[in-house]
Every structure is written in C-alpha cells, then in structure tokens.
Amino acid sequence: MAMHRITFTLNGARERVEVPSNQTLLQLLRERLALTGTKNGCTAGECGACTVLWNGEPVNSCLVLAVECDGTEVVTVEGLAHDRQLDPVQTALLEAGGVQCGFCTPGVLLSARALLDRNPRPSDYEIRDALTGNLCRCTGYLRIIEAVKAAARAAEPA
Amino acid sequence: MLKTKPAADGHTPVGDSVPRLDAHDKVTGAAQFADDIQFGPGLLQARILRSPHAHALIKRLDVSRALALPGVKAIVTGEQTPGYIGLYLQDRHIFCRDRVRYIGDPVAGVAAVDEATAEQAVDLIEVEYEPLPAVFDPVEGTRPDAPLLHPDLGQYEAVNFIFPKPGSNISNHFKIRRGDVAGAWAQCAAVVEREYRVPHIQHVPIEPHVAVAKWDDKDKITLWASSQSPFAQRNLIAKALHLSQSQIQVIAPYVGGGFGAKAGVSMEALAVVIAGAVKGRPVKLRLTREEEFFTTFVRQGLVARFKVGCDQDGRLQALENTYYWDAGAYTEYGVNMTRAGGYSGTGPYDVPNVKVDSICVYTNHPVGGPMRGFGMPELHSGLEQAMDDLAHAVGVDPVEFRRRNCIRGGDIVATGMTMHPTGLPECIEKAAAAINWGHKSSPSAPNKRRGKGMAIMWKAPAMPPNAGSSARVQLNEDGTVMVSLGGQEIGQGTFTVMAQMAAAALGVPYDWVKVAGPIDTDSSPYEWQTVASRLTWSMGNAVSAAARDARRQILEMVAKAWKESPDDLDIVDGQVISYKSEEACSLKDLVIYGLPNPDGDGWIGGPVLGRGSFMPTYVTGLDPETGQGPRAVVHYTTGAQAVEIEVDLDTGKVEVLRAVAAFDVGKAINPDMVRAQMEGGLVQGISTAFFESLQLKNGRVLNPSFVDYRIATAADAPPQLEAIIVEVPQDDGPWGARGIGEHSMVPTIPAIANALYDAVGIRLEAPPFTAEKVYLAMRAAGVVQ
C-alpha cells in the first residue's frame, strides 16, 4: 500500500503523519493517534457515531480517507473543550440529561456544534434535521434537542 | 425499608436528580469503551466463517488453504468446542460441529495479523454442506412432521424450571390452568378472539459487540468485552470449556448500549476459543454492523392468539391465550423469556379463569435472546389490542375497562401469587388525565384524523429465583467513598443511582462517592447480570447494606473512642456527630488510621470496609401443569402509556403528537433519570411501532443495515412527551424502589395501535405500522376510497 505524508490541523495542533492510501480518517484517529473519543458504530456512514468536524463541516470520518485531510482542519470530541472549559454544547448536553450510554454522544456533540456555528438560533425543526444523521438508541432524542436549544440560548448576548 | 437520612441542610442524595457520575467523561470523549482499549502491535484480529444455510449438515470442512495464507495465525472449528453452552438450556456449541441451524451460525474462526487477512482466510475455508429441510414458522414448527432442529434435545442440560419436549422443536412449554375457562365463556356478554403477530427486531446498540481475549500459558484467560454480564460470561464460558470460573477474568468497561443484546453469552466465547489457539496474544473480535443484525441475539418473533371475555359490566371473566415464540436456532436464553411470557401472560389484569400456553419453538431463524422488556412488549402488543376490542364490544370506554379490571394490591394473580401494593390504577388515572382522555381534538387538516389510545403493562424481573448481588463500600484517606459492584453501567445510570444510595446510607455528600470501574470479575463483587431491570432493587439493596455496614463500623469505633453509645451518634455530611455530647469528627480523620484509644496507649478501629449482599429467598417453583405456586416472581413494575396521533388519509402516515408515560417505580432514587428511562423507552417503542422489522426470507435477514433497517431518528421523536412518576413503595426495595429500565417500551406499540383504531377504525395484524400498511388497511375498511 502506497504511503502518503500528510500534514493537518487536529484539535488546534499541527499533526504530521504517514498514512496508507486506504486508511480512513476514523482509523487514523482511533488506531494510529489513539484518539478514541470518536466512535465506530457501522463503518458505513449510516450511524453518525464517528462524526468529526472537517473544515468546520460535520462528516462521517469512516467515509473520509486520511490522505484527503492533508492541509485541512479536523476537530474531534477531544478538541471541543478549551483550557478545561467545556464547550457550551457539552455543558448543555450534560445538564439536560441527554447522555445515557454515551456512545453516540461525541458525534451528536459535533453535529450540534456545526449547526450552532452556521445557525446560532436554530428552530426545533432545524435541530432535529441537523441531528437525523446521529442515531441514538437510549435517550429518545428529546433531551438532546433541548440541550442544543439551551446551548443556543447560552450563546446569546445577555 | 430504609429511611432517608437528611443532611444538615435537609438535603438527601436519594430522591434528588443529581447529575450522572459518568456524564462528564462521556461528553469529553474520555469514557472508555471496550473497543477503545489499546493492546499494541501484538493484537490479532479475528473473523468468523458463518453458515450460508438455514439448516444443513456439515459434510466436510477443510481449512488447509486458509491456514497457508501468510499472516494467518490460527483457525478454529467445532472440533475445538465439543462442550455445550447456554444460560438456561445448554443447547449450542461455541462453533458448530456437525450441523448449522441458521444463516450466520459460526462454523470457523480465524485469527490473523489484520482484519483484511482474516477476512481473506475466511473465504479460503472450504465447507461442504448437505442442506436440510428448515422451519421458518413457529406454529408449523410444533407439528409432529416438522423437521427437527435438535434431535438431542432430551440430552441437553436445563435448569429445573424449563421443560423441553424431546423429539419435538419445543424447548419449553409454560402453562397456566386456573379456574374453569371452558365453562366461563357461557357467562360472558362479549368475547373477542384475535391473532396478532410481532416480527423479529434487533436491539441495535450503537456500539457493536466487541470482545478481546487473551489466553496465557497457564490457561488463565482474560476477556475484555462490551458486556452486560461479566460474571455470567465467566461462568458459562468456564463450564463450556471445562475450566474453573476463577481461570477466567472478564473486564468490562462502559457499554455503548445493551438492551439485552450483550447479556448472557452471544459472541464472546468465539473470541476466547480463537485466542486459545494463539496463546499469549490478544485477539479481537469486533462484529460488523451487518453481523450485529443477525449473528448475536435478536428479539424473537411471536404469533399470539387471544381469547378474552367479560360480563355485561365489562368485568373480565376468562382469558385463553396461546403464544408461539419464534425463538430461533438456539433457545438457551430464550426459553426463560417464554416462561416469563407464560407466567405474566394475562397482562396486568385480574381474571378469574385463565388458560395460558407459552410455547418456545426452535426455528431456523437468528437466535432469539433477551431484549428490553423480555417478552412483555411482544405479548402486550396484541393483548392490549384485544382488551381494547373487548371494551368496545361490551360498550365500555377503554380506560374505564382498564380501571375496572387492572390488577391491584391484594388480588390473586393467575399463578396464585398475591399481588403486592401497586400503583397501576394511579398510573391509569394520571396517563388518562395527561392525554385529556375522552376529548377529541380537531385534526390539523381536513385530510387528517386524530385518535387517542392507551395501553397498560406489567413486568417482573425474569431471572433464576436466587440471582444475587454484592457490593463493597470502602473509605479513602480523604473521607471519600469507593463503591465496588458488579452490575454494569449500560447507559441506564446505575452507577449514579448506586452512588446516591451509598451516600444516603452512609451519610456523605453524593459527590464524595465514586464507583470503581471497569467491572472486573477478579476484583468486583459478584453480580448475576445487568438485566431484568433488577439492579436498582437488587444491587441497590447490596450497596446500601454495604454502606450501612461501613456506617456501623464507623459508629462503633467512634462510640468506643468517645465512650458513647452508637445510638447517640450519626454521620451527617461526612462528619460523625454526637447528638449527646455534641462532639464532631470528620470521616477523613478516622476511617483509615482509626482513633486513639481513650483508655491509654494504642489505637482502635482501622480501615473501614463495608460489605453487603442481597439475594431474594422467597421465590417458589410453579407446578409444570398448572403454573400455580405461592410466589412466581419478586415483584411487578406496572405502568400505563397514552398517545394522541394523527393519521394522514392520503398517505397513511401516522404521527405521534403527544405521548404520556406513567410508571410505578416504588421510589425514584433519581427522578430525572427515571423520566429519562421513560422517555427513551417510549421513543424506542415508537421506533418498533413504525419502522422496525427484520425482513426474514427463508431464514435470511434481507435488511441488515441502517439504510434498510430504520430506527427512530431525532426527527421521529414526538413533539411532546410527558413522563409521570408514581411511587407505591416495594417492601424489600431500597427506599422502596423497583426497576423501570425495560418497562418503558412495553405498552407503546398497543397504545399506538389503539389510537389508530380510535382515529380510523383499523387494526393491523402486526407492527411496524408503515404508511403503506395503514393506507391499504384504511382502503380495505372503506375509510378512504
């Protein structure tokens, strides 16, 4: 397998790695860089557990090849908090009780972050729509939806 | 029953909606799941060769070409697994030996340097099969001329409350015979007879099954697994491999969703056996999503026949139900679900004359196993529609009908047990009020119709009569508390609730308590399994006993040091105080190093370590012919759900506008988390009502992916959902608590079905209630042209 040297920004820091052509971003994160917060639920782009931000857009990292990340920016769940301060979506999800088993949680958080970045005041419909790619089997979604609303409210100027 | 001790400010951790212990680590990505554990470059990957036939004999198996592939380290087959494995009935080999019984049955396992190599090797294994006639329908499977799946059924080992019928495909037949059913029909003003079906579904935890096994040269085995049942896995795998339980160590970190799929043993033994062929190296078996849909447990299918009758006042007189469980190729776990379906087969009703037959039938379908509700969602699905039909037949409002007939404390249930106090009547009232029962609201458009429906439920923990729990409570130098236990955090929040109980029983703030994880059978106290919604009650009793034991040790030590009676002492907010002398001392100053001896030199006390265990001792056997006995179960959690829906006449699409859940949990240790269980279960119920079905054709699952097997997404959650807590205490529950995890999805399908009937007057034979099925039924009924 041909190897490629890539340089990209991962959670704010520059990362230089050599990757085989067929390696996915998910494999690179979990198996090579030991960033296991990003989860693998189906390896087929269907469950959303492996969602990361790629140049600010939420993507299924199991469908992105690592070589494609050369020169780009990737944010995983490990990069959401800054200086031990949780991102408002993390705080809101925690406070709303929108976490049960926690396996879908990293993907949900990144989809929510991406939504709020492009649409700071989403409607109920827009929140549900933005989260349809993140399957959750535990919570029934309502507390997750409430959490995104709360995070949006928290970001509004007082 | 324990009383809650308020802290100095009147605050107590029990009954308080404290934040989850595990939430922070789960929102930062720090929480570790089985697949996250790093094993380094020595890790081998395993793949499984599975049967492509629903039923066949293995005539020839040749692994030589596969073994010759570079990178392949070992291949195992049924030759290595002569023993049987199973929880209640030992009816399967870890790898098939002479016969395969479903599409997906494991035939061989490969360990290789990477997944691609292992996958390639699987393709190189040569197997010659001789296909056999198969059974794809449970009713047909009971016929005398049906092909036999298990000719050796009579030789299988079974627990003493399961009754296999050798020479047939029936691995258990549970019966209730009470009163005079045949004579009672004549007394009935209305009788309803219906057949309803429930399709196979899958649990769909978002985390697939994963197991990593390592076998050392002294035959000590370590198994890391996503597991609801570390102790049961240790026990069953040890028995099957003729090892001692203490030779196996199971380490189980957080579980990314279980719902029963990760209970008992489903795929973990495969990894253990493969690792046995490459001693010293860890071997990982991680199921693909496709395998997840049909090679672990699925929820059994059900064909259910109901006959129910009542007098002209709408009082139930007789019930004659037959349940044919499409239990799949192996029923080692499923047999007990059919038993539970039998003893709870009347649903939560007081009926004087009862005949129930719950029949577990082997079919050449995927293996039926425990899933959230353990038979109850399936049987309530049709039963609660039949009860609705009966109410309509006799002209009684369906809620009033349930009010008149529901089980109440003091009633004798169909197995002969006296019902304990239950809040079911209150659940019915509260759910009816919250959905505004009896008032029809106008549809949102002229081509739409609205309807309301209610369903009620009961469910008991289904388990061996003597399933036990144990716990340790240790104090640290800083006065904080470490709780060790063997029940698993699968998302339901049990670690949090156990910490609350320990804090309350001991007298420390909640945030002083940690729960030791991951669960490790070498160091965690014993727990039967994380199933049956039994942990809050059973493990809760063990944890509070351990905390009280630690408390007793502390108070006795301090009483001696202060020359007081322990009765005058208390622990409040982490301080030992005396109500008599008004002395006070922080826990941190005494729980490890003890206290100076007041009578001279030396010390008293020492590290405080509380222990507690709990096991119900009062459950009795039931007569195999009549199902009668003094106490069939430990208790029943009861509840009601009501929904309002809107049906689109042009498309058949059904929308749930509002949903209400009311359950009697005895005591809500953490009310917010109880409501979260009710919400999550209800939406899972909605998902099964509208979307979910394993499409089986000649034993093959045609839709093993999220694209073809749809589950509810954020767009499908109802706009309004109200969860109502009812608290009628359980006499032997900690603070009166009993379980809620599974119950919340039990009545959802029939509540929606009853609303569908209310809206447009149709009944469908089986979920899922797809738009297409609803539309065609409306057309057949003349509701639309």
Q: At B72, which CATH number?
A: 3.90.1170.50
Q: Give yes or no: residues B595 and B474 share one domain.
A: yes
Is B8 a residue whose pLDDT tops 80?
A: no
Minimal-distance CA residue of chain A relative to B704 = A42
Q: CA-CA distance, B707 to B688, in Å (whole number)?
A: 16
Q: Tell which residue, B27, B206, B36, B256, has the closest CA to residue A77.
A: B27
Mutate to test the interface with B, among A53, A91, A103, A128 (most CBs of B within 10 A): A103
Residues of chain B with pLDDT > 70, as a percent, come to: 99
Indicate yes or no: CB of A100 within 8 angstroms of CB of B491. Answer: yes
DSSP 8-state class, residue B520: E
Q: Count of CB atoms within 10 A of residue A34's CB?
A: 9
Is B431 a residue whose pLDDT tops 60?
A: yes
| Residue B275 counted as domain residue | yes
Indicate yes or no: CB of A80 within 8 angstroms of CB of B28. Answer: yes
Tokens standing for B541?
């009793």
Residue count of chain A, please give it: 158
Q: What type of residue is B684? A: Q
Indicate yes or no: CB of A36 within 8 angstroms of CB of B684. Answer: no
Q: Does A132 touch chain B (CB under 8 A)?
A: yes
Q: Give yes or no: residues B306 and B376 share one domain.
A: yes
**A88-155 has which CATH code?**
1.10.150.120
Q: Judge if the upstream peptide bond of residue B768 is cis by omega within 30 degrees of 0.
A: yes
In tens, the pLDDT along B158-217 reads 999 999 999 999 999 999 999 999 999 999 999 999 999 999 999 999 999 999 999 999
Pairing state between β A13-20 and B44-50: unpaired
Is B9 a residue whose pLDDT tops 90?
A: no
In tens, the pLDDT along B389-403 reads 999 999 999 999 999
Q: Residue B549's pLDDT band (boundaries 50, 70, 90)?
A: very high
Is B4 a residue whose pLDDT tops 60?
A: no
Instruction: Give the residue from B259, B286, B313 where a domain finishes.
Output: B286
* Torsion sign, CA atoms A71, A72, A73, A77: negative
| Residue B403 counted as domain residue | yes
What pLDDT sits at residue B3? 47
Reduce the DSSP state of residue B661 to 3 states and report it.
Answer: strand
- Total structural domains within chain B: 3
Residues of chain B with pLDDT > 90, as a percent, come to: 98
| Residue B785 counted as domain residue | no
Q: Give yes or no: residues B769 and B670 share one domain.
A: yes
Q: Does B71 touch chain A (CB under 8 A)?
A: no
Q: Is A142 exposed, middle or buried (0-12, 13-18, 19+ CB in 10 A)?
A: buried
Q: Give yes or no: residues B525 and B603 share one domain.
A: yes
Tokens standing for A74?
């990737």
Q: CA-CA distance, B96 to B76, in Å (whole number)?
A: 11
Q: Tell which residue, B292, B422, B295, has the closest CA to residue B709.
A: B292
Q: Are B608 and B416 in contact (CB under 8 A)?
A: no
Is B294 a residue whose pLDDT tops 80?
A: yes
Tokens standing for B5?
């001790």
Pairing state between β B221-225 and B248-252: parallel
Tokens standing for B117?
């190599």
In tens, the pLDDT along B79-99 reads 999 999 999 999 999 999 999
> Which chain A residues in 98-127 lie under 8 Å from chain B, judged by CB atoms?
99-106, 109, 124, 127
Q: CA-CA distance, B419 to B401, in Å (whole number)?
A: 20
Residue count of chain B, please give it: 785
* Torsion sign, CA atoms B292, B295, B296, B298: positive
Q: Give CA separation, B475 vs B508, B607, B630, B668, B726, in Å.
A: 11, 7, 42, 26, 35
Candidates B24, B32, B207; nearest CB to A41 = B207
What pLDDT sits at residue B502? 98
Instruction: Give the residue from B252, B286, B320 where a domain finishes.
Output: B286
Alpha carbon dihedral B541, B542, B545, B550, in 10-degree steps, equals: -150
Q: CA-CA distance, B624 to B626, in Å (whole number)?
A: 6
Q: Which top CATH class is A3-79?
A: alpha beta
Range B117-121, long-range pairs (CB < 8 A, 24+ positions): B117/B45, B117/B69, B117/B70, B117/B71, B117/B72, B118/B45, B118/B46, B118/B47, B118/B72, B119/B47, B120/B69, B121/B47, B121/B66, B121/B67, B121/B69, B121/B72, B121/B75
Reduce the DSSP state of residue B57 to 3 states and report it.
Answer: strand
Domain with CATH 1.10.150.120 in chain A: 88-155
CATH (domain of B324): 3.30.365.10
Within B326-414, where are the H helices? 334-343, 376-394, 398-405
What pLDDT sits at residue B5? 53
Q: CA-CA distance, B11 to B5, in Å (whole number)?
A: 9
> Which chain B residues in 302-341 lie under 8 Å from chain A, judged by CB atoms?
none
Q: CA-CA distance, B326 to B321, in Å (whole number)?
A: 16
Q: Give yes or no: residues B650 and B775 share one domain.
A: yes
Mutate to test the interface with A, among B21, B22, B119, B206 (most CBs of A within 10 A): B206
Is B1 a residue whose pLDDT tops 50?
A: no
Q: Does A75 touch chain B (CB under 8 A)?
A: no
| Residue B70 counted as domain residue | yes
Q: Give yes or no: residues B541 and B458 share one domain.
A: no
Tokens standing for B289?
């999503």
In tens, the pLDDT along B219-229 reads 999 999 999 99
Is B409 a residue whose pLDDT tops 70?
A: yes
Indicate yes or no: CB of B681 within 8 angstroms of CB of A43. Answer: no
Is B354 a residue whose pLDDT tops 50?
A: yes
Q: Residue B369's pLDDT band (boundaries 50, 70, 90)?
A: very high
Q: CA-CA distance, B401 to B325, in Å (whole number)?
A: 28
| Residue B771 counted as domain residue | yes
Q: Does A39 touch chain B (CB under 8 A)?
A: yes
Q: Give yes or no: residues B242 and B330 share one domain.
A: no
Indicate yes or no: CB of B257 within 8 angstroms of CB of A134. Answer: no
Q: Does B256 touch chain A (CB under 8 A)?
A: yes
Q: Does B783 touch chain A (CB under 8 A)?
A: no
Q: CA-CA distance, A145 to B10, in Å (whole number)?
A: 34
What pLDDT sits at residue B388? 98
Q: CA-CA distance, B125 to B123, in Å (whole number)?
A: 6
Domain with CATH 3.10.20.30 in chain A: 3-79
Tell me which residue range forms the domain holding B551. 23-31+467-614
Q: What type of residue is B619? A: V
Q: Tell which residue, A113, A13, A98, has the closest CA to residue A53.
A: A113
Q: Does B717 touch chain A (CB under 8 A)?
A: yes
Chain B residues inside the 8 Å CB shell of A76: 29
Q: Does A63 touch chain B (CB under 8 A)?
A: no
Instruction: Give the residue from B584, B614, B644 where a domain finishes.
Output: B614
Taking residues A92-108, report their average pLDDT: 98
How far is the alpha carbon of B514 from chain A, nearest alpha carbon, in Å?
A: 18
